[in-house]
Each structure stands twice: as structure tokens, then as C-alpha cells.
């Protein structure tokens, strides 16, 4: 029996193990789940070492050291020491007496991420999206675009009104908020539909694996 | 007699509302499994957003360079792998040069699986495509959106070597490719973070590069606003998006085949939603009266 066939059998049996939870919780499911968790943890440990720790920290520091010894210059790669140092501080969480030092690393992560994301979100998901709603409500000779533009403008405007809580939702303002709720409900419905499609796709993929790769019932 | 009928109807609604969920699972399993055995091809209507992705690739002249980022792992294979295969078929059919990369560790491996599948096609085989000249796999590099940002200045900063350890300067396809200015299109297959949103934020809106994408169905609705604003050329949404792309290519593959199961399963779910609502409102009306 080839390695590939053994792999298919293991995959199929574990798939059935996970599916068995749909009937009720059982040891076969527990075993499959525990195996998945363990393999995932092991896999990510290896990935972290070979793809993050080694190439991003060790290789760069070795390069910096080589440049220093061969050319006698202090290379910019020494800056990776800072990252390594912050990483060590994170590990100090394991020591109760000096665990507070890990907050410096967290502060660095939170600060840089917030700064980096703020400008990008503001432009891509804020300013450009607002610009995208400034549309002509009537486009001559193009009924589809006209209807589409009206839906975008009315939906955005009423949706924003719904989230404006400084004024009571009464009268025309309340009516616009109710229209906003309708748009939100339709959006949630569409999101639900897409989620169902996504989950069904995963089930189709697994069943196709069982019937094709394992049992060979589908050519 | 009428009273008895009412009692009987009421009990049916009550039974339906308290139906064992395992029966519903069984119905769904049958609805998904049985159509897989029938080679029925459904008519797949093509949406403008899928057409946008197809056109973005189709409009490129032969020899154009496409950077494709595989930002997903095996758990999203049923949705994204058919898109990956269709993309490679499309790109190689049109003699495009493909630069593969991944922001997810398993992404570039998914690309290799798709390539293996596509290289079995006779017309692709006849092109005698060469690694390094017609396509290259740069592999995975850690850093998420920072990688995207750095590649805007220099590919070499993020990828000094390809996935096999060959320096970029020794790869014919990568000669003259310094940053996004030297690629004609980015195609992103994404199942989450980092993915299409980060490519829009850090590549499109900063370096003004053209981007098309294929997403899981869960993610797709969040990407449609980017199409409306022109930040994205098009989106393939989930399995349906993959089926649309295969239809546009004229090469129906797995996504088209799977859509029959998808349609039957959706019909069954809709039926259960209708029955559930009818039962709920019927019982509420009776209780109120």
C-alpha cells in the first residue's frame, strides 16, 4: 500500500470521526479532534521556527555579524536585535516577578499596528468609500445604473441615520431610520446566504473527497 | 370533527418545530451527496463582478506579468482551488507570465497542487512551460500586510530568494521586476487575513496597482464595495464565483460540477426555513386566538 493511499485512508477515517459528532459526542470524535489540535499546534510551532524565527531574526543577525567582521561596518541589520529583545520581553510573562516587562512589547505592537492601520483604513474603507457614494441619482438612458445609484445613496444615508442615536427616532427621521433597518436586514440576509454557501462548499468538498479519493465511486 | 382536525394540524406544526436536528443533517447530507453522482451541468449566470475579474486577466497582452498571491490553506480548498486552477489555465492559455507568492504558509503549496493539476491538460503541456521563465513560485514570507507594503518598494526586500532557494537575480522571469510598477496585474485568492482587504489597502490605494480577487463566500460580500469604487477590478465569490469563472473560460471544472449539489442543498435549506416560519407563525396565531 503506497503512502498516498494510506494518507487518503487516514483522511477519510478522520473525516468520518469529525462527522460522527453530528449524531452525538463520542470517543471517535474526541480522538479526531484531539489529533487535529495536536497536529495543528506542532505544525505551527515548526512554521514559526523555520519561517519566522530563523529567517527573520537569526539569518539577519548572522548577516549583520558577518558584515561587521568582514567589512568592519555596522550594518542596519543590527536593528533586528530590537525585535529579538522585544520577543524576549514577551517570554518574560512566564516569570511572575518580571512579567510586567512584556507590556513594553505589547505597547510596541499595539502602537505600530494602530498607526499603520489607521491611515490605511481611513483612506481605503473611509474616504474612498464615501467618495463612492457621491453618485448622480439619475443617469440618462441607463435605468439599471439609475436604480443602483439610488439604492446605494438611500441605503448609505438611511443606514447612517439608524446609527445616529443623539436624536430620537421619530417622524421623518424615524422613518429614514426604519428604512435603514430594512437595508441592514437585507444585508444580513445576504451575508447569511453567502455563509450558507461557504459552509455547503466545505461539506461538498469533504463528501467529494470521500466518494472520489477514498471510495472511488465518482470518476 | 373540525376541532379534531385543528388539534391534529397543530400537533404537526409542533412536531415540525421540535424536529430532531439530526434529521435535518441527514436531509442536507443526502441533498449534497446524491447530486455529486450525476454529471448534470447547470446554467451558471455570470455576474458583472465575476466578469470584471475575467476581463482584467483577458485584457492583458501575451507576455504580461501577473503576481498571484495564494492567501489560503487547505480548509478553503473546495471554494478557492477551482478558482486557482481556472486562473492558471486562463493565464497560460493567454501566454501570461505568472509570479506566485503567499502570505499564508500553506498558500504556495496550494499553488503547486493547482499547477500539477493544470499541467495535465494537453494544451498546457504542449506549451512546454518552464519554471523560472514562464512561472515562478516565490513561496511564503512572514509579515502579513508589511510584506505587501515592502514589495511596493522592492520585491527583493521581502523575497530575496524564491521558494526553492534560488536568488531572484538568477531567475529570468524576475529580471527587471523591481516592484509593482513591473507587474501588470495582481490576482489574490483569499480566505481571510491577510488577504484581499490588505492588498486593497496597501497595494492598490498606495501604489495604484490593478487588483482582481477570488474570495471565500463568507468574505466576498465585504469585498463588493471595493468593486463599486474601482479599487478592485472584480471578485469571484465562493464556489459560485469559481463556477462563473470556469463558465467564462469555457472549461467547466469542479466548481461547475459542485454547483448542482450546492443548488439542491440550498433548496432543501430554503424549504426548512419556510416550514420553520410557517410552523412558528401558525402556532403563534393559534396561541393568540
Set of cell numbers at residue B218: 463568507
Is A14 part of a structural domain of the chain? Answer: no
Q: Nearest chain B Cα to A194, which residue?
A: B217
Is A177 part of a structural domain of the chain? Answer: yes
Is A155 part of a structural domain of the chain? Answer: yes
pLDDT attached to residue B41: 75
Q: What's the CATH code of the domain at B123?
A: 3.40.50
**Cα–Cα distance between A59 and A198 in angstroms, integer?**
40
A22: contact with B, CB 8 A cutoff: yes
Q: Among B133, B75, B56, which Cα is nearest to A205's? A: B75
Between B14 and B237, name the one with better pLDDT: B237
Is A8 part of a structural domain of the chain? Answer: no
Residue B77 contacts residue A208 (beta carbons within 8 Å): no
Domain coverage including residue B29? 2-40+260-288
A112: contact with B, CB 8 A cutoff: no
Domain count, chain A: 1
Rounded to two decimals, the ipTM of the complex is 0.90
pLDDT attached to residue A199: 95
pLDDT exceeds 60 at position B215: yes
Based on the domain organization, do B52 and B155 belong to the same domain?
A: yes
Domain count, chain B: 2
Set of cell numbers at residue A149: 445609484
User: Is B228 within 8 Å of A202 when comparing Cβ atoms?
Assistant: no
Span B10-24, average pLDDT: 84
Residues of chain A contacting B32 with CB distance shorter than 8 Å:
200, 203-204, 207
pLDDT exceeds 60 at position B266: yes
pLDDT attached to residue A35: 97
Based on the domain organization, do B30 and B97 belong to the same domain?
A: no
Average model confidence (pLDDT) across chain B: 93
- Counted across chains A and B, CB pairs separated by less than 8 A come out at 114
* Coil, strand or helix at B263: helix
**Percent of chain B surpassing pLDDT 70:** 97
Based on the domain organization, do B100 and B226 belong to the same domain?
A: yes
Question: Which pTM does this prediction carry?
Answer: 0.92
Residues in chain B: 289
> pLDDT (tens digit, 9 = 90+) per residue, B150-190?
999 999 989 999 999 999 999 999 999 999 999 999 999 99
> pLDDT (tens digit, 9 = 90+) per residue, A57-96?
999 999 999 999 999 999 899 999 999 999 999 999 999 9
pLDDT band for B4, please (50, 70, 90 cuts). low
pLDDT attached to residue A113: 92
Enter the DSSP assignment of B182: G
Is A215 part of a structural domain of the chain? Answer: yes
User: Is B262 within 8 Å of A198 when comparing Cβ atoms?
Assistant: no
Span B259-284, average pLDDT: 93
Domain coverage including residue A204? 135-219
pLDDT band for B42, please (50, 70, 90 cuts). confident
DSSP-assigned states of every residue in chain A: --HHHHHHHHHHHHHHHHHGGGT---HHHHHHHHHHHHHHHHHHHHHIIIIIIIIIIIHHHHHHHHHHHHH----GGGGHHHHHHHHHHHHGGGSTTTGGGHHHHHHHHHHHHHHHHHHHHIIIIIIHHHHHT---S--TT-HHHHHHHHHHHHHHHHHHHHT--SS---HHHHHHHHHHHHHHHHHHHHHHHHHHHHHHHHHHHHHHIIIIIIT----
Residues of chain B contacting A115 with CB distance shorter than 8 Å:
none
> pLDDT (tens digit, 9 = 90+) per residue, B66-124?
999 999 999 999 999 999 999 999 999 999 999 999 999 999 999 999 999 999 999 99
B129 Cβ contact list (under 8 Å, min separation 6): B92, B119, B135
**B172 — phi, psi (to 5°)?**
-55, -40
Based on the domain organization, do B206 and B125 belong to the same domain?
A: yes
Amino acid at each position: 500500500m503506497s503512502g498516498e493511499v494510506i494518507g487518503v485512508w487516514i483522511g477519510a477515517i478522520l473525516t468520518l470521526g469529525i462527522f460522527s459528532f453530528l449524531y452525538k459526542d463520542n470517543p471517535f470524535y474526541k480522538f479526531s479532534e484531539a489529533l487535529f489540535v495536536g497536529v495543528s499546534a506542532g505544525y505551527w510551532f515548526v512554521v514559526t521556527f523555520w519561517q519566522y524565527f530563523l529567517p527573520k531574526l537569526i539569518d539577519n543577525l548572522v548577516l549583520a555579524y558577518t558584515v561587521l567582521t568582514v567589512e568592519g561596518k555596522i550594518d542596519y541589520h543590527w536593528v533586528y536585535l530590537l525585535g529579538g529583545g522585544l520577543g524576549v520581553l514577551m517570554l518574560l510573562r512566564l516569570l511572575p516577578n518580571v512579567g510586567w516587562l512584556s507590556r513594553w512589547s505589547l505597547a510596541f505592537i499595539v502602537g505600530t499596528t494602530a498607526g499603520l492601520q489607521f491611515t490605511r483604513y481611513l483612506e481605503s474603507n473611509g474616504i474612498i468609500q464615501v467618495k463612492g457614494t457621491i453618485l448622480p441619482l439619475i443617469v440618462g438612458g441607463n435605468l439599471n445604473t439609475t436604480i443602483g445609484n439610488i439604492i446605494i445613496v438611500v441605503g448609505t444615508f438611511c443606514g447612517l441615520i439608524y446609527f445616529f442615536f443623539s436624536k430620537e427616532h421619530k417622524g421623518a427621521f424615524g422613518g429614514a431610520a426604519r428604512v435603514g433597518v430594512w437595508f441592514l436586514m437585507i444585508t444580513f440576509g445576504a451575508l447569511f446566504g453567502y455563509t450558507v454557501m461557504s459552509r455547503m462548499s466545505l461539506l461538498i468538498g469533504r463528501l467529494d473527497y470521500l466518494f472520489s479519493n477514498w471510495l472511488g465511486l465518482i470518476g | 370533527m373540525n376541532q379534531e382536525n385543528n388539534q391534529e394540524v397543530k400537533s404537526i406544526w409542533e412536531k415540525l418545530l421540535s424536529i430532531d436536528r439530526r434529521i435535518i443533517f441527514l436531509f442536507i447530507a443526502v441533498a449534497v451527496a446524491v447530486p455529486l453522482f450525476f454529471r448534470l451541468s447547470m446554467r451558471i449566470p455570470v455576474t458583472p463582478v465575476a466578469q470584471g475579474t475575467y476581463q482584467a486577466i483577458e485584457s492583458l497582452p501575451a507576455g504580461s506579468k501577473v503576481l498571484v498571491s495564494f492567501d489560503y490553506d487547505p480548509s478553503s480548498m473546495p471554494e478557492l482551488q477551482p478558482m486557482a486552477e481556472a486562473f492558471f489555465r486562463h493565464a497560460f492559455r493567454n501566454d501570461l507570465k505568472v509570479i506566485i507568492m503567499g502570505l499564508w504558509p500553506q498558500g504556495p503549496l496550494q499553488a503547486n497542487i493547482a499547477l500539477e493539476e493544470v499541467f495535465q491538460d494537453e494544451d498546457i503541456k504542449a506549451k512546454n512551460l518552464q519554471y523560472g521563465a514562464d512561472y515562478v513560485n516565490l513561496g511564503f514570507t512572514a509579515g502579513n500586510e508589511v510584506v505587501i507594503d515592502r514589495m511596493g518598494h522592492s520585491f527583493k526586500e521581502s523575497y530575496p530568494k524564491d521558494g526553492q532557494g534560488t536568488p531572484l537575480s538568477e531567475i529570468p522571469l524576475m529580471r527587471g521586476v523591481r516592484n509593482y510598477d513591473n507587474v501588470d496585474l495582481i490576482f489574490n485568492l483569499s480566505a481571510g487575513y491577510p488577504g484581499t482587504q490588505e492588498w486593497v489597502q496597501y497595494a492598490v490605494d498606495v501604489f495604484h496597482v490593478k487588483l482582481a480577487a477570488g474570495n471565500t463566500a463568507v468574505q466576498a460580500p465585504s469585498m463588493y464595495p471595493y468593486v463599486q469604487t474601482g479599487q478592485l477590478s472584480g471578485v469571484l465569490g465562493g464556489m459560485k464565483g469559481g463556477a462563473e469563472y470556469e463558465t467564462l473560460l469555457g472549461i467547466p471544472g469542479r466548481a461547475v460540477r459542485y454547483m448542482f449539489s450546492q443548488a439542491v442543498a440550498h433548496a432543501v435549506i430554503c424549504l426548512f426555513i419556510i416550514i420553520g416560519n410557517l410552523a412558528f407563525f401558525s402556532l403563534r396565531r393559534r396561541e393568540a386566538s
